[in-house]
Amino acid sequence: MFNLILFGPPGAGKGTQAVKIAEKFGWKHISTGDILRAEVSQGTPLGLKVKSVMDAGHLVSDDLLIAIMESVFLKNNTIVPGFVLDGFPRTLNQAQELDKMLQRHGHKLGLVLALEVDEVELVSRLIKRSQDQGRKDDTEDVVKNRLVQYHRHTEPLIDYYIDKKLYKKVYGVGTIEDIFDQLCAEIKP
Ligand code: ADP
């Protein structure tokens, strides 16, 4: 089984590319943002719990995310040949728990592929997305907050994965197809 993390700041285009990669390789795309948004829109107890946290652009607690990840993993790990993780891990604790979870099942991470996009471009993409999709966490203040959270909690993972020799990066500005080709060139399952 091949486990790929698609890494990068909010607005880098992880969702778009993760769908394409999952389709090409026949892997399962897991977007923790999509999972959480579905819980919110269905009004489940979990959704009610996380809604205000997400709307403010803060991170949902590690415990909840790790539990979600474990349950999605267990539901799929015997039937899919790989996972594309999008939006997880977002903290060092999540990364360590992911390693342990994979290890418990006799698997490991294959690659961490990062999309690099400069900050000015990110902010303008996220604000445009708020106008197009009406996502509540894409207003200007919240966008800035999500970038702060990224720098504080998620960026340190870069060194964690560089140390493990799993980290590769691709410049995330250009056409979707060009970026996709560059990402695929790094994936050797
Ligand atoms: P984006 O990639 O645009 O930043 P996502 O759709 O991945 O946004 O996530 C939206 C929100 O869901 C985050 O701002 C956060 O509140 C919550 N979330 C998603 N994944 C995680 C995670 N791994 N840890 C904590 N919170 C998360």
Mean pLDDT of the chain: 95
pLDDT tens digits for 158-182? Answer: 999 999 999 999 999 999 999 999 9
Q: Taking residues 63-76, what's their average pLDDT?
A: 96
pLDDT score of 135 more than 80 = no
**Mean pLDDT confidence for 65-72:** 96
Exposure class string for 171-180: b at 16+ Cβ within 10 A, else e:
ebeeeeeebb
pLDDT-derived band at 129 (thresholds 50, 70, 90) equals confident
- Residue 142 Cβ inside 6 Å of ligand 1? The answer reads no
Region 39-68: what's the mean pLDDT?
Answer: 96
Question: How would residue 68 be classed by pLDDT, with cut points 50, 70 and 90?
Answer: very high
Closest by CA to 172, choosing from 183, 187, 186, is: 183
The model's confidence at residue 36, banded by pLDDT at 50, 70 and 90, is very high
Q: What is the pLDDT of residue 138?
A: 76
pLDDT at 132: 86
Q: Model's pTM, two decimal places?
A: 0.94
Q: pLDDT at position 29, please?
A: 98
Let me know how long the chain is.
189
Q: Which residues are catalytic?
A: 14, 90, 129, 135, 146
Q: What is the mean pLDDT of residues 116-144?
A: 87
Could you tell me the distance, in angstroms and rounded to a whole number, from the CA of residue 53 to the centre of ligand 1? Answer: 10
pLDDT at 59 over 90: yes
Q: Where are the domains of the chain?
A: 2-180
Ligand 1 lined by 5 (C-beta under 6 Å): no
Enter the tokens of residue 49.
Answer: 């719990």
Q: Give the CATH superfamily of 2-180.
A: P-loop containing nucleotide triphosphate hydrolases (3.40.50.300)
Show Cβ contacts of residue 28 under 8 Å, excluding neighbours closer than 6 positions.
22, 76, 80, 82, 83, 84
d(CA 33, ligand 1 centre) in Å:
5
Helix (H) or strand (E) holding 83: strand 82-86
Mean pLDDT along residues 73-80: 94
Q: How far apart are CA 123 and CA 101, in angstroms?
A: 34
User: Is ligand 1 within 6 A of the CB of residue 153?
Assistant: no
pLDDT in tens, 84-120: 999 999 999 999 999 999 999 999 999 999 999 999 9
